[in-house]
Chains A and B, each alone.
Chain A
Amino acid sequence: MATVLLVEDDPAAREGLELALRRLGYKVRAAETGEAALRDFPDAAADVVVLDVMLPGLDGFEVCRRLRRGGDIPVIMLTARGDDLDIVGGLEAGADDYVVKPVEPRVLDARIRAVIRRTARAGSPAESYGELMIDRGSLIVRRDGREVSLTPTELRLLLVLSGSPRQVLSREQLLDLVWDHDYLGDSRLVDACVQRLRAKIEADTSAPRYIQTVRGFGYRFGPV
C-alpha cells in the first residue's frame, strides 16, 4: 500500500487525518513542520505528500518548491482557506492537486489515488516529435536524447495529449482523463500542470511547440 507523508501543524487535524488515512489502508508518516518533513523526506520513501499550506516556519508553498527541486514526488496541497491565492500559489509551487479543508476522507483518498496512479505501459514503439521522444513502453520521455524527469501527473498529461496529436482537448476532458475529476474540477490545475510540463520539454516556454494553447477551448499536442 502507498505511503503518505502528511505535513500538518495542527495536532488534532494531523491525528484525525492520520487515523482516517490509515483506515483507508495507507501507511502514514506525519510531520509537524515543513522543516521536519524535508529532513525526513529522503528517507521517508513516501509515494505522495499531503501538505498543509499554513505551516509555521517554512510555509507549504516553500516546502512544495523544495520537494520539487529534489524529485518528482506527487504533492497534494491541503488548503485551509480554499482562497484563490492559496490555490494559485500552491499550483505555481508545483503541487499536483489540492483539497480544501475540511476534507472528507473518501475525497482525499480519490485524489491521492489519482496523483500516484502509474500509467499503464503500452507495447507501442517510441514516438518522436521533433526533439521530443516519448516511449510509452518504458514510460520514458527524452528531450535531445536526455531523459526528462516528470511527475506521474505530468507524464499522464503528456501521454494523453500526445496520444491524439493535433486534437484539441478541453480542460474539462483533461481533468477527467488525467486527474480523475469527473465533475467540476478546477481547470487551473490543467493550466498549472501544462506550464510545468512546458518548462521541462519546451525549448521556449513563451512560444510552445509541443503543447499549444487553443484559446477558449483547451490544449492540443502539436502540430510539430
Chain B
Amino acid sequence: MHRRLIIAFIVVALVAALAFQLVINLLLPLFPRLNDLVILPPGTLSFLYKRDLSHRGGPQPTPFLVMVLCLAVLSLLAVITALAFAASRPVLQPVRRLARAAQRMSGGDLSVRIQPRGRDELAQLVTSFNEMAAALEDKVSDLEQMEARARRFAGDVSHELRTPLTAMTAVVGILHEHPGLTGDAATAARLVGQEVKHLNRLVEDLIEISRFDAGTVQLVTDETDVANAVTQCLRARGWSSVNTDVPAGLTARLDRRRFDIILANLIGNALRHGGPPVTVQARIQSGGQGGGQLAVEVRDHGHGLPPTAIPRIFDRFYKADTARTRSDGSGLGLAIAWENARLHGGHIHAGNHPDGGAVFIVSLPLTGQDHDDAQLADAQHVTDIAAPLAGESRPE
C-alpha cells in the first residue's frame, strides 16, 4: 500500500516542479530582476508581452497570457486532484469496508468477516479485525450457552422437585384430616400442609417462567367472552369482594388459560398488597395493529406503588415492600403475567391512579392467531360458520 503512496507522491512532485518552472518562465518578463533565471531565448515569448518602451515598467502581459495562466492553474489543480483521488482510492476502500463491517458488528452481527487483500498495514488491520470479531463471537456464544445452561438448570431443578412433591401432595391431606393429631402435632401437620401447597405453587411458577425462558410456550387462542372469563377467574378463586365493570358481549381472541393467569396474578397481587376495594374494568380501545385493543384495568385503593418500585415491579422475585418477608405468592406472579401479555402481543402498564391506589393496565390486541391452526386440529377441512346451514345439502 505504501508503495502506491510513494509513487503517487513522486508523480505529484514532478508535475508540481514542471508547473513551477513554467510559471517562472511566464512571469519572468513581468519581473526583470529574475532575468538571471531566463532559460528561453529572448523574443520567444514576444506573443505574450507587449514591449512598451515608453513605459518604465517594461513589458506588459497580453490578455492571452492572462487566459493561459488561468487555464494552466486550473488544469494543474484538476490534475493534482485527480492524482490525489486516484492515490487515495486504494487506501480508502479497505477503510470503508472496515467501517461497514464495524457498523454491522455493532448492530449485533458478530459473524461479519472481511477478506484481507495484499500484505500491507491495512491488510494487517483487517486480519486483526477478523480475529477480534471471532474472539467476540466465541465469548458471546459461551455466555449464551452458560445462560441457557443456568436457565435449563432452574427448569430441571423444578421438574425434579415435582416427583417428591407428588408423593407429599398426595398424602399431606391425610395428616391434616387425622383425628389423632392434637396440640403441637396438629399445628405441625397444618404447617406442613400449608407449606407443601406453597412449595407447589413456587415450583409451578418456576417451571412456567422457565418455559418462557426456553421459548417453549405456545399460544392457544379461542374467541373468549371477557366478562365470562373475569367472572370465572374470580369465582374459581373465591374472590367475592372484587368489583367488576366489563361490558357484556365483549369478546377477544385470547388464550383462555393464559388470560386467566394474567387476571389472577394481577387481581391476587392487588388483593394481597393493595387496599380494598379492588376493581376490574375492561374496554375496547381503538388503535394498535389491526385496529383495536382489549384494555383490562385492575385497580386497588391502597397507598399505591412506591415510585422506585414501578420500573422493577415485573422483575422476578421483586418485592416493593421490603419489610414484607414473604407473602402467599411465589414472587413470580407479575413476571408471569407480563410474559403472558407479551406472548399475546400486548403489554402491561403499571402505575398509580391520581386518586390513589395502584393501577395495572393490560393491553392485548383483539386479533390473535387461530387455534384451528394448532397441530392437533385439522386446519384443512373446516366448514365455514358463515355458510348457510339450514336445510341445505352440502357437498361433502
B167 interfacial contact with A, CB 8 Å: yes
Interface hits, A54-88 → B, CB 8 Å: 80-85, 88
Contact indicator A16/B167 (Cβ below 8 Å): yes
Q: For the side of the interface on B, what is the size category?
A: 35 or more
| A205 and B377 alpha carbons, distance in the complex (Å) | 12
A102 interfacial contact with B, CB 8 Å: yes
B165 interfacial contact with A, CB 8 Å: yes
Which A residues lie within 8 Å of B232 (CB)? 183-184
Contact indicator A184/B163 (Cβ below 8 Å): no
Given contacts A208-B381, A213-B382, contact A20 B372 (CB under 8 A): no
Which A residues lie within 8 Å of B171 (CB)? 16, 19-20
B353 interfacial contact with A, CB 8 Å: no
Contact indicator B236/A188 (Cβ below 8 Å): no
| A46 and B203 alpha carbons, distance in the complex (Å) | 33
B131 interfacial contact with A, CB 8 Å: no
Give the contact stretch, choosing among A33-41, A156-164, A166-174. A166-174
In this complex, what residue of A is CB-closest to B376?
A191
| A185 and B274 alpha carbons, distance in the complex (Å) | 30
Which A residues lie within 8 Å of B385 (CB)? 168, 214-217
Interface hits, A1-35 → B, CB 8 Å: 10, 12-13, 15-17, 19-20, 23
Contact indicator B170/A195 (Cβ below 8 Å): no
Contact indicator A20/B166 (Cβ below 8 Å): no
Contact indicator A187/B372 (Cβ below 8 Å): no
Given contacts A23-B174, A223-B389, contact A10 B167 (CB under 8 A): yes
Given contacts A188-B220, A216-B223, contact A102 B376 (CB under 8 A): no
How far in angstroms is the closest Cβ of chain A from B216?
7
Contact count A vs B, C-beta below 8 Å:
134
| A217 and B387 alpha carbons, distance in the complex (Å) | 14
Contact indicator B170/A212 (Cβ below 8 Å): no
Which B residues lie within 8 Å of A113 (CB)? none
A102 touches which of B165, B173, B380, B396 (Cβ 8 Å): B165
Contact indicator B384/A215 (Cβ below 8 Å): yes
A118 interfacial contact with B, CB 8 Å: no
Which A residues lie within 8 Å of B159 (CB)? 80-81
Which A residues lie within 8 Å of B54 (CB)? none
Contact indicator B169/A103 (Cβ below 8 Å): yes
Bitwise, B348-379 to A at CB < 8 A (1) or not (0) is 00000000000000000000001110111111
Hey, which bits of chain B sit against chain A, CB under 8 A? 159, 162-171, 173-174, 200, 207, 211, 216, 218, 220, 222-223, 232, 236, 256-257, 260, 370-372, 374-385, 389-390, 392-394, 396
Hey, which bits of chain A sit against chain B, CB under 8 A? 10, 12-13, 15-17, 19-20, 23, 80-85, 88, 91-92, 101-105, 166, 168, 170-172, 183-184, 186-188, 191-192, 195, 205-209, 212-217, 223
Please name 20 pairs of A and B residues whose Cβ atoms are closer than 8 Å in the assembled complex, sorted by A: A10-B167, A12-B167, A13-B167, A17-B166, A81-B159, A101-B162, A101-B163, A102-B170, A104-B173, A170-B222, A172-B222, A183-B232, A183-B236, A184-B236, A188-B376, A191-B376, A205-B378, A214-B385, A216-B372, A217-B385
